[in-house]
Structure 1
Amino acid sequence: MTIFISVVSHLHGELIEQLGCLAKLAERFKVVVKVNSEETYLLSYLKLHNINVIDTSYGLGFGHNNNIIYNYCEDKLGMNSNDYFIVFNPDVYVESEALAELVNKMFENNCQLAGANLFKNKELTIPDNSIRHFPTFLQFFKSFLGLGNSTIIDKSKVLKPIEVDWASGSFLAFKASHYRLLGGFDQGYFMYCEDIDICFRSNKIGIPLTFYPDIKMLHLAKHANRALFSKHFYWHLCSVGRFLLTKVGVTKPKSIIGLA
């Protein structure tokens, strides 16, 4: 049983070096970083720390990049169905022991898809709203208007592992065979809602995500500006529409060769 960590860098080289997390994780696990633009300095740093690098096909979306990493892990690194594939943001920090503990819990409980407890500060006292209920059109609409978000689950009330609808794509842990069964991320999304979608499709086949509140991690989230008429607002709007259509069975997921 091997743990494979999938990271996509969008000019995150400086942050990756400052955190030092991936270098530590690479001492124990298989870490793969796909750069999404030219980052010469980062490539040197990653190779120095025995981190696998994919330096091709720039400018792809979040899901597409992670699917490429998954295929790389299978084809080049020997990942098999009993291993674990973890989608991991460059701005997440976790100790190796905590990550190993999570995967051990997944193995013991035959858990196919899991999320961890993310926090916004080093003291792990400010929670990241990283677990939620599946949204409806009305909830999306209210969120866009700044009228609150009723999908957020209050993590302070969660004291033991529970099944939830979805967790942030900043950190998602899959049994490798389950990621393949799902066909990976839907590449019809460029950015936003890929995490909701893949958790929804997993839930639909009877395998909900399990949230482990005692596995704590730092997430230095810096959300892009979604001001009206910005490209991020446009991507978000398109993703919301795609998810709502997927939810009612109108839209089918797009994947890449090599995934089911």
Structure 2
Amino acid sequence: MNKNIYITASIVLFNEDLKELENTVSCFLNVKISKKLYLIDNTLNGDFKGLFHHQDIEYIAVPSNIGFGAGHNKALKYLKDKSDYHLILNPDVSFKPKIITTLISQLELDNSTAMIAPKVLFPDGRHQYSCRRYPTVSELLARRFTFLKFIFKKQILKGTYRDLDLNQSFFADYITGCFHLYRTEDFVKLNGFDERYFLYMEDVDICKKIDLMGKKKLYYPQEEIIHVLKQGSSKSFKLFLRHTFSAIKYFLKWGFR
């Protein structure tokens, strides 16, 4: 393949904090390898058009709120034969430039690994527990309703792999989608995210699709990023409903357990 860019990345934009977004964009642009960043603007009026002027940035107007997965998929047609690696990036993360090259080096060690992700921390340094076992219905319900958290406490802890040493790398069931680094050819073969999910569960779903490919997802805690994490579905009834509908779609597709 005649690739002229080593890594591409995509960020889907809607109701973003501009300061956080500028920080995330800066983190990626500071990576010292050939790169291209696609900014996918899901706003009706192109709110983010013209905000960033850089040779390594390409702006894509949708213009409607088509959701997280469908938004990232807008970059798919630009990726084939374009880059070796593709980064799914949230607009509220920060990281050191060397993280990208380190993660790429780890991916190159094993062709059966399709995606890699680092440890994720809150801005105050707390662990975000981004690597998880595939969810059960009871676990998802317990995460949303406080009165169930005590009843299903052991299940929740197990679901976030807290029975393992999270300072060691391992192949996880799924990794939350704020920072997924893929081999581009694998992301293209997956056809990106399932667009039936508007928001939530698409990161779990794509990890299931990686399983079907016979490939793996590596959690690599030797590198860390900071993620603000809005946790919208616990604060907004509308987003709670979106999360619920996405969960229903997920279990109907993959089965209940």
- TM-score of Structure 1 vs Structure 2, range by shorter chain: 0.7 to 0.9
Q: Do structure 1's residue 67 and structure 2's residue 69 form an aligned pair? A: no
The one-letter amino acid paired with 2:141 is F
Question: 8 Å contact 1:47–1:53 — kept in the other structure?
Answer: no
Partner of 1:107: 108
CA deviation vs aligned residue, 1:209-250 (integer Å, no higher than 9, x gap)? 11111011111111214358x21011111111111111139x
Q: Which runs of 5 or more residues in structure 2 are unaligned? A: none
Deviation at 1:26, TM superposition (A): 8.3
Q: Do structure 1's residue 245 and structure 2's residue 247 form an aligned pair? A: no
Q: Do structure 1's residue 36 and structure 2's residue 37 form an aligned pair? A: no
Aligned counterpart for 1:7 among listed residues 7, 11, 20: 11
CA deviation vs aligned residue, 1:174-213 (integer Å, no higher than 9, x gap)? 1111112222100000000000011012123322211111
* TM-score (ref. length: structure 2): 0.84
Partner of 1:24: 30
Structure 1 pair 15/158, CA: closer, same or farther in 2 (3 Å)? closer
Question: 8 Å contact 2:6–2:34 — kept in the other structure?
Answer: no
Question: 8 Å contact 1:84–1:173 — kept in the other structure?
Answer: yes
CA deviation vs aligned residue, 1:111-141 (integer Å, no higher than 9, x gap)? 211121111126xx31112110001122222
Q: Do structure 1's residue 119 and structure 2's residue 121 form an aligned pair? A: yes
The one-letter amino acid paired with 2:246 is S
Q: Which runs of 5 or more residues in structure 1 are unaligned? A: 250-260
Give secondary structure in 2 for the equivalent of 1:58. Answer: coil
* Alignment RMSD (CA, Å): 2.4
Deviation at 1:58, TM superposition (A): 2.0
Question: 8 Å contact 1:26–1:51 — kept in the other structure?
Answer: no
Give secondary structure in 2 for the equivalent of 1:84. Answer: strand
Deviation at 1:27, TM superposition (A): 7.2
Partner of 2:234: 226
Give secondary structure in 2 for the equivalent of 1:139. Answer: helix
The one-letter amino acid paired with 1:104 is S
Give secondary structure in 2 for the equivalent of 1:2. Answer: strand
Q: For the residues of structure 2 that align with 1:166 and 1:138, how far apart are their CA atoms?
A: 18
Taking every aligned residue pair, what percent have the same amino acid on both sides? Answer: 21
Give secondary structure in 2 for the equivalent of 1:104. Answer: helix
Q: For the residues of structure 2 that align with 1:67 and 1:155, how far apart are their CA atoms?
A: 35
Partner of 2:243: 236
Aligned counterpart for 1:173 among listed residues 178, 181, 184: 181
Aligned counterpart for 1:79 among listed residues 72, 79, 82: 82
Q: For the residues of structure 2 that align with 1:136 and 1:204, how far apart are their CA atoms?
A: 19
Give secondary structure in 1 for the equivalent of 2:11. Answer: strand
Q: For the residues of structure 1 that align with 2:67 and 2:235, how far apart are their CA atoms?
A: 20
Structure 1 pair 114/155, CA: closer, same or farther in 2 (3 Å)? farther
Question: 8 Å contact 2:67–2:198 — kept in the other structure?
Answer: yes
Q: For the residues of structure 2 that align with 1:156 and 1:3, how far apart are their CA atoms?
A: 32
Number of aligned pairs? 240
Q: For the residues of structure 2 that align with 1:156 and 1:248, how far apart are their CA atoms?
A: 26
Q: For the residues of structure 2 that align with 1:227 and 1:102, how far apart are their CA atoms?
A: 33
Give secondary structure in 1 for the equivalent of 2:22. Answer: helix
Deviation at 1:68, TM superposition (A): 0.7
Structure 1 pair 95/21, CA: closer, same or farther in 2 (3 Å)? same
The one-letter amino acid paired with 1:70 is L
The one-letter amino acid paired with 2:105 is N
Question: 8 Å contact 1:26–1:49 — kept in the other structure?
Answer: no
Question: 8 Å contact 1:28–1:96 — kept in the other structure?
Answer: no
Deviation at 1:67, TM superposition (A): 0.7
Partner of 1:58: 64
Q: For the residues of structure 1 that align with 2:210 and 2:33, how far apart are their CA atoms?
A: 31
Q: For the residues of structure 2 that align with 1:112 and 1:182, how far apart are their CA atoms?
A: 10
